[in-house]
Amino acid sequence: MNRLERAANIEDLRRMAKARLPRSVFDFFDGGAEEEATLAGNRAAFQRVRLLPKVLVDVRQVDTGVDIFGVRSNLPMAIAPTGAIGAGRNGADLMIARAARATGIPYTLATPATNSIEEIADQAGGRLWFQLYLLKNLEMRMQLVRRAHAAGYEALLVTVDLATAGKRERDLRNDFAAPFRPTWRNSRDVLLKPAWLLDMARHGIPEMKNLEGLVRSSTRMTDVAASVGRELDASFDWDQLKSLRDAWPGKLLLKGIVRPDDAERAAAAGCDGVVVSNHGGRQLDGAVATLDALPAVVRAAGSKLTVLIDGGVRRGVDLLKARALGAQAVLTGRATLFGAMAGGEAGAKRAIDILGGEFERALMLCGVSRAADIAADLVAP
């Protein structure tokens, strides 16, 4: 049994990632805003839900697949967008995209990824979604939309909960700054992680290739990351959403919805779906946990919208709980990120396999033979 196979759960992969990465890089991925109450709340919400399993049901054969936008996914799960992850392992975006294709689930590429829209389409393929940051630079924003369409991306996930960047205090304490400024603390930490250091020395500091030209002429991660927060369009509103809807011919989802009235407005604007999300607890600390917000959003969406959810997914049973509360599927970001940091493409696939295996077991133990049949009666009042 190799090292990755010994990982029994996502937390094991998280520990492997932590052991490989400099503290500042790991905390950038792992941390949340301010006191991290929202980060912890997302996980706690899943842990609070209790199930009412059925018995004496034939579950010798279990179908874990569901339809998402009319196309089968082998799990009620897609990969959430995670930005700048090339800081932890060169080519990590491509590794996770390939793992998603291999396991038959959709993959979402982040705007600040270190593999380009075209690289992911050409070298990974599969069901591809693109997360759009609402940049002030309208030409660049629409160029990203056109590039995603030309490359065959199925859906556009517009991040709407990021009018400005959150205050992530772990980054401040770790001297995680852009551009990088050497200090005794962060330099010593880097030297103690030889595998990461060798990867960065061999391939160089990764570039955010989708954002070429946004800041000066540099696409280095350290240069662009510092400016992305300043380049977000805090004026973008529902009226401007209409022109984006007209420009994108595929599925359009708003990512960052937690209010039922916002879900209703999304439907009225012609959106195809929403992602109930608080940005993984990385922006507004004190925001409602996504699973707690889900039922009201589902009721407001009715049959007009496909409802997805992210934040706090660490176990396969979380997929069951989310569907029982009305979500079509979950998006998970950190789980596969930890896997990729621990073991590249094989590590990302290991993360998906862990969640898929746990989900299949949860279905059997709850007396449900088809994921499509998960219903609200499985959740205890």
Q: Which comes out higher in pLDDT, residue 39 or 1?
A: 39
φ/ψ region of 70 (left if φ > 0, alpha if ψ in -120 to 50, else beta) reads: left
Mean pLDDT, rounded, of the chain = 93
2 domain residue, yes or no: no
142 domain residue, yes or no: yes
* pLDDT over 90 at 246, yes or no: yes
The two three-digit tokens of residue 128, written as one number: 């591809």
CB 78 within 8 A of CB 331: yes
Q: How far apart are the first and last CA of the chain?
A: 42
3 domain residue, yes or no: no
Other CB atoms within 10 A of residue 252 CB: 21
- Options 14, 279, 314, 334, the catalytic residue: 279
- Per DSSP, what are the bridge partners of residue 330? 77, 309
320-337 in b/e burial notation, b at 16+ Cβ within 10 A?
bbbbbbbbbbbbbbbbbb
Q: How many domains is the chain built from?
A: 1
* pLDDT over 80 at 186, yes or no: no
Q: Which comes out higher in pLDDT, residue 262 or 163?
A: 262
Is residue 149 part of the annotated active site? The answer reads no
The reported pLDDT for the residue numbered 218 is 45
1 domain residue, yes or no: no
239 domain residue, yes or no: no
User: What is the spatial distance between Cα 98 and Cα 32, in angstroms, rounded to a whole number?
Assistant: 27
User: What pTM, to 2 d.p., does this model score?
Assistant: 0.94
133 domain residue, yes or no: yes
The reported pLDDT for the residue numbered 217 is 44
pLDDT digits (tens, 9 = 90+) for 114-134: 999 999 999 999 999 999 999
Q: What percent of the chain has pLDDT over 90?
A: 84
The reported pLDDT for the residue numbered 302 is 96
pLDDT digits (tens, 9 = 90+) for 216-235: 444 444 444 445 677 899 99
The reported pLDDT for the residue numbered 221 is 46
The reported pLDDT for the residue numbered 220 is 44
5 domain residue, yes or no: no
Task: Return the closest-CA partner of residue 98 out of 341, 340, 355, 354.
Answer: 340
Q: Which domain holds residue 346?
A: 10-234+246-378
* pLDDT over 80 at 184, yes or no: no
303 domain residue, yes or no: yes
Average pLDDT score over residue span 252-264: 98
What is the CATH number for 64?
Answer: 3.20.20.70
* pLDDT over 80 at 283, yes or no: yes
